[in-house]
Amino acid sequence: MQSLSPAYIKTPARAILSQNGAQEGKQVTTKDFREKTAALDGLLGVGQCFDMTARDLTIGGRAARLWVVNGYAQEDILERVIAGWQSLPPLDELSDPNAEEEEDVNFKDEKKKLQNAAIRDYAEMAAKTDSYKQFLARLSRLPDAGEQIAYAYMVLVRMYREGSIPLKIADTPREIACKVQNGTTDGEAIRAITVAFETVRYAGDDVDRACAESVLSDMCAIIKRYLF
């Protein structure tokens, strides 16, 4: 693999768009989206250099793809931005700005939810967790299982990174899980942990109580190996 070269960015992004496609307001099909993102992957050097990575997302009920140059964004900031995007309601459900006042209030409620989603910075909290005792104390103070899973996951990822697992800032939870499976004996546990984290952090859904207790127990056991 090679380092990112200016050659990858010589072609304007608009050059890969069709002349009669999304530029004229036509609906982009799944096939169109995949072709265009694949073309951008090639232009940006995804898979050809270590510096450029890409990640599939769902934003506002629509497929999206994020390109990141490693080292150009702090992980905690990037995760907060992505979490905000992922929590956006489907575009079809957004209130009409010209509708009646009641619909406008609903839109403001959605905006408030997005603001509240970024209040707790789990990555920052994880970075400042210096002992297993402190970890358990902070974990116990979180109000629900979803927040406990999100915080514990951030601590777990930090432990893996400091334990020499080659994680990148732009790695998705699935990519992290793959690297952990290849570098540790935590394969079975990390699969369930990843699903639970994606459920509470990105989908915004609740995790079954039994499942939450199981993944939290697994995360605590792994974290205890690294924190004293």
* Per-residue buried b or exposed e for 130-161, using 16+ beta carbons within 10 Å of the residue's own CB: eebeebbebbeebeebbbbbbbbbbbbbbbbb
Q: For the segment 166-194, what is each residue's pLDDT rounded down to a tens digit?
A: 888 788 889 999 999 999 999 889 999 99
Residue 53: what residue type?
T
For tokens 């997302």, the residue is 57
Q: How far apart are the first and last CA of the chain?
A: 38
State the DSSP string of the chain. Answer: -B---GGGGSS-GGGGS-TTSGGGTPPPPHHHHHHHHHHHHHHHTBTTBSSEEEEEEEETTEEEEEEEETTSS-HHHHHHHHHHHHTSPPGGGSPPTTS-HHHHHHHHHHHHHHHHHTSS-HHHHHHT--SHHHHHHHHHHSSSHHHHHHHHHHHHHHHHHHTT----TT--HHHHHHHHHHHSS-HHHHHHHHHHHHIIIII-PPPPHHHHHHHHHHHHHHHHHH--
pLDDT tens for 30-45 read 778 888 888 888 888 8
Give residue 29's pLDDT: 75
- Model pLDDT for residues 69-113, shown as the tens digit of each residue: 876 666 767 777 887 787 777 777 666 555 544 544 555 455 445
Q: How confident is the model at residue 3 (pLDDT cuts 50, 70, 90)?
A: very low
Residue 125's pLDDT is 85
Q: So what's the pLDDT on residue 213?
A: 93
- Strand-strand pairing, 52-59 and 62-69: antiparallel
Lowest mean pLDDT of 15-29, 50-64, 147-161, 186-200, name the range.
Answer: 15-29
